[in-house]
Structure 1
């Protein structure tokens, strides 16, 4: 039942009771007691009605002093409410302490885990990734990437970079692997029949160009007459294959000499500032030109097509890759709890800083919302929130006045 109705009913009962007792015989003790109780209850109910009404408006619309207290003190009430919220109810210290006890990272990770387990969510994530990658403007991104790579190369310390790369290559034996690759390719080439004929023809032509006189010339001509192109090619082919086999052996002294010479040449190249500068400019110019832009664009398109194809395949499988990536991240965090703790601290610090920077907005928001309300709206809102409880003051005042009135009548008797 509406408390305003109950309060009005209590006041009406007191008024009706008082009027009725006026017409009853006054020689009865009970009539005297009831009249005193109803009279005091009527006075108490009216007094409390006046007090409650004076909080919100002028009783009977009359500008009686010290009435309509809420509207007269609106600014003080608003400021007090804002101050209470900012400094007591929602002060920064209490909010920060509460945030620090929440374990935000664990809460967020737990909610993400619940979402990732749903197939619909995973496929939605993949769909968002597909749309984002499809809409990625490569024609705008490529020039930025191109200029970034070019600037990086021009500012790069080639000497340190080349020394580092070469040292790593040598430590991992890439110089020997490169030499072995070249020797194997040379062995394959030298073993071909057409290589034998080519070597024989070259040797025959060069021998015929030689002019040797005397007895040595006679012996040389006899040797040329005895050897044909095929025989010369076979001899050279055998020599070449034998030399390559020897160089492929790790214990071969000539192999060690060649590798040592390669390393010396490489380090000399790394110390040649002029040559490195020309190399750096050559690389930068190649990347900066139209050909470099076209190459980067084609590579980026190829990468995008590859990623999209993989994402589409994963979307058809229900986003398993998304779950796999998330599971991998969780496993790594479980293996390194100190990293999870660091992330927890970072997230908490970020939220705390966010609260500190925006705490004033709480009071500002309350003030703006209250200022948007006119007097009638504000009074109606307060009556809806606290008016129901205040109406019980009227009821209690009437009942208490009735009881006090009976007691005073007894004392009077």
Structure 2
């Protein structure tokens, strides 16, 4: 499992370090921390937050809106391969029950979050309602790690969890795009992004292959790969990102149109599969090139977003935690049972219905995406800080999952 350990120790470990530094800094010298977060790089810039008739590029905008686009591009790459390629993990009947469970892992947290918010009164509900998507997230790397610890690497529940997490990422990208615009919507600008994607695909992917038909040496495709490499896709990505920014859709999703245009392998080996390290198609090569830059981006993301004062704990904190720790396992159990039993789709051999509860607790580790959604769901202030604290506290789900595994007598399968 080379890729999961590589991903966790490099990407997620740096993210945690950044988050810890932010928490210490914000609780010891909050004024200097917030001054650092909102540091102005370029006033009256062509990109950045729009206010008073001009744009301002701050450090926070640079990381959250521009550089995080590379992180979401990697997530989109895994989702794309799982859906479109031969042997993709989200294709066919094998993915049916995990997809149903994913729906439960979305609707359950939303119902708990909004239901409890309504019980707290109309004022509280109005203040926190826009954060309904925060507890729907699943941090794929950390959840996979805890899943391995609870079930063992060879247990079918681990693969089930992985399918659920990939599908969760896919739905999460859609939620971000549809429900959390970054400004006033101008959807006509998406045509710019779409045009960039079509142009780069036709000129640098489809046309060279078309010209190479019947030529074993593939001279045109080889020339494009060797001489131009990723540059056409980088330029198209810049245009696409700008189109997303001007459209009002969160620009961190600005590379989503470009990912499917890049030449890719003809089959998927599965996320975290060891075989992935040997693939030399351009899409996987670009992912490998992005490894170190994204490590730094995630460190900066944790540093710039996790700095909340412990005094900020409030209603949104407990609502996010309740959505994750109650809504996730209940939703996954209910929808997973319906798919497996009444609908007859079944579970993987060696997996029990009760294992869905444990999977639900493992999937309740929201962290990265929950933190990101909290930063876009609310304006900077006490409600946003309280919601972020709930995302950070979601690590408690790891301990709950381990205890649930013991109570339900999970039989670990290490091979």
The TM-score normalised by the length of structure 1 is 0.21
Structure showing the higher helix proportion among its residues: 1
Larger radius of gyration: 1
Q: TM-score, normalised by structure 2?
A: 0.21
**RCO higher in 1 or 2 (8 Å CA, sep ≥ 6)?**
1
